[in-house]
Amino acid sequence: MKKSLVLVFVLFVLVSLFYAQNRKGLVTKPIESTGSVILSTGVVYCAGDAWESPLKKSILNGCNYDFEVGFRQMFPKDIGYRVTLQYGSSYADDGDGKHHGRGLYRSTTNMFELTGRIEQQYIFGPKYHVYKRNSIYAFFGGGIMMGKVSYPTEAYVGYPDFRSGILSFGMGYTYNINEKFFIGTEFSVKYALSDKIDGYPLIVKPGDKKINDALGNFNIILGLKVF
């Protein structure tokens, strides 16, 4: 009889503690998945065939910027996917034009991009909480990029437009402001499957080695959780 009373008392205490923690938000029902709309903007630089560093120009010069809108869904085990649509502009410049046999390489590329990627998160914070403040993530994916290239009158005219597959990878950090909104930063590298992003091929004479273009992005992100 005494053992039964003790067992009932222990069960009563455990149920009471669980109920109290649930009321305080310390124990919650696991969320199967979350979906978020993400806006992003930042700088983009093209490592192409022009000789000068692309870092000499910035968004303040009306180039080397991008805007992105995307949707991300995260599943249990903190793995998920993101689909993103991007518009951006990058600038290429040779400087004195003496580095290529064809003359001055100078161009501005306006590009659209559609990508999909897989993300893996690592979340910081109390184990039992309504939401956790900090997370870092890494991702890998690919997509398609297309755009048009413009040239000043003094420059050698290359390709007028392009279409290319891309591979992308990178990492980022997010901070949850509350249960709905989060902000963060992200760095990514995009490797093009062509040598036409800046409008110019590296190959000038027979024997030159073909090297595809690549893009580097550093963005600030703002997200809204919709479910």
Q: What pLDDT was estimated at residue 131?
A: 66
Do residues 8 and 59 both lie within one domain?
no
Same domain (yes/no): 177, 76? yes
**Contact (CB, 8 A) for 115 and 139:** no
Judged against a pLDDT cut of 50, whether residue 26 lies above it is answered with no
- What pLDDT shows up at residue 209? 61
**pLDDT at residue 225, as a whole number:** 95
Contacts of 183 (CB under 8 A, 6+ apart): 174, 175, 177, 220, 221, 222, 223
Q: How confident is the model at residue 127 (pLDDT cuts 50, 70, 90)?
A: low
Task: Give 202's DSSP letter.
Answer: S
Q: Which residue has the higher pLDDT, 87 or 25?
A: 87
Say if residues 164 and 197 touch (Cβ distance below 8 Å): yes
State whether 36 and 14 are in the same domain: no
Domain shared by 39 and 12, yes or no: no
Average pLDDT of every residue of the chain:
83
Shared domain check, 36 and 21: no
Same domain, 148 and 194: yes
Find the CATH number of the domain harbouring 142.
Answer: 2.40.160.20
Q: What is the mean pLDDT of residues 91-113?
A: 85
| In a shared domain, residues 171 and 181 | yes
State yes or no: pLDDT of 139 exceeds 80: yes
For residues 91 and 159, membership in a common domain is answered with: yes
The letter for the amino acid at 30 is P
Residues 13 and 76 in one domain: no
Number of structural domains, the chain?
2
Question: What are 192-214's pLDDT values in tens digits?
Answer: 999 999 998 765 555 556 689 99
Instruction: Taking residues 175-203, report their average pLDDT.
Output: 91
In sequence order, the 6+-apart residues with CB closer than 8 A to the CB of 108 are: 63, 89, 90, 91, 92, 149, 150, 151
Find out whether 94 and 154 touch, Cβ atoms under 8 Å.
no
Residues 25 and 41 both lie in one domain? no
> Do 39 and 149 belong to one domain?
yes
C-beta separation of 201 from 222 below 8 A = no
| pLDDT on residue 203 | 58
Same domain? For 10 and 72 the reply is no
Which pLDDT does position 21 carry in this prediction?
46
Label residue 8 by pLDDT band (50, 70, 90): very low
